[in-house]
Copies of this chain bind each other. A is one copy, B any other.
Amino acid sequence: MAQTQAAPPSGTSKQAPGIYRYKVSDFEVTAFHEGTVPRVIDDKFVVNAPLPEVQAALEKAFLPKDKINNTFTTLVVNTGRNLVAIDTGFADNGPPTVGQAWANMKAAGIDPARIDTVIISHFHGDHISGLRLKDGSAAYPNAQVMVPAAEWAFWMDDGRMNAAPEAARAGFATARRSFEPYGAKIARYEPGKELVPGITSVEAYGHSPGHTAFTIASGNGRLLVLSDASNLPALFVRQPDWSPVFDMDKDMARAARRRLLDMAAAERMQVAAYHFPFPATGFIAKQGNGFEFEPVLWSAIL
């Protein structure tokens, strides 16, 4: 059949940049794919469900049963008044499969120096490492950095760090290293506070001691940023009582997950979540004893 010339060599192409824009009424949200880190699915991944049930849930979602690609999506919100980053990814501090949000942000024409506020949901490394570039400089040189007060109190407690087992100390070190360039520009916040006009903190403790969700409200538009209250929808939206190994206080995290998913379903609020598949935004519907995630339909129209 027709073959007028050689096709380009396969396997040399790259994925298109992971950038997706959507509106919350007047606000403009840009989601950035940060990359993925593979995670073996063993009996330690979901700590309170038998491995065959977890594998069956993955198979039902047409996903591999033996590993997932844990995915990360950062947000920049242009409120018209503020240019706000929510969580940072790794920038140049992570493994080679991440750090794409940093490049994608620049590809989207967003200069990190113009970000005036960085809001942090919690201090796990995939959310804060990107505050500080490997050369020691502030990734967001002109930003105030807003952190959950309870999170700061936990991770910056030297006594707790020194008492932690060796394997648990990396998290404390990451927090110290990541915030170091910001000094006096760090502001601690409580739940239920408007952090910048239109963006409000929502208590979601459990995943980590001060883990926080957010509502973004503009006009009639509302977005619930779940942060890490849930994770891969095929597992932790459909079975909200399953606990991923990442949840530090399993009972509290499970209660927060149900509370936020219930709210999203009841109010039909659009949600965004850090570990949902890119572009990591959609809606939550009640389904049986759990929930179903309906991703938004990709639209070129803003």
Contact = CB atoms under 8 A, between A and B. Distances in A.
A242 interface: no
A35 interface: yes
A80 to B, nearest CB: 5
B285 A298 contact: no
Nearest to A28: B10
A260 B294 CA distance: 23
Interface in A87-113: 97, 100, 108-109
Contacts of A114: 5, 7-8
Contact of A16 (B11, B20, B28): B20
B301 A278 contact: no
A7 B109 CA distance: 13
Contact of A297 (B19, B71, B187): B71
A301 to B, nearest CB: 7
Contact of A27 (B10, B61, B117, B277): B10
B16 A143 contact: no
A85 to B, nearest CB: 12
Contacts of A139: none
A61 B294 CA distance: 7
A62 B282 contact: yes
Interface in A245-302: 268, 277-279, 282-283, 285, 294-302
A79 interface: yes
A142 interface: yes
Contacts of A17: 16
A11 B285 CA distance: 30
Given A10-B28, A196-B2, A282-B62, A69 B16 contact: no
Contacts of A174: none
Contact of A1 (B16, B82, B297): B82
Interface of A: 1-5, 7-11, 13-21, 26-28, 30, 33, 35-36, 60-63, 69, 71, 78-83, 97, 100, 108-109, 114, 116-117, 142-144, 187, 195-197, 268, 277-279, 282-283, 285, 294-302
5 nearest A-B residue pairs (beta carbon): A2-B144, A16-B19, A277-B297, A62-B283, A278-B298
12 contacts: A1-B196, A2-B143, A7-B79, A7-B81, A7-B116, A10-B78, A14-B21, A15-B300, A16-B108, A62-B294, A71-B297, A278-B297
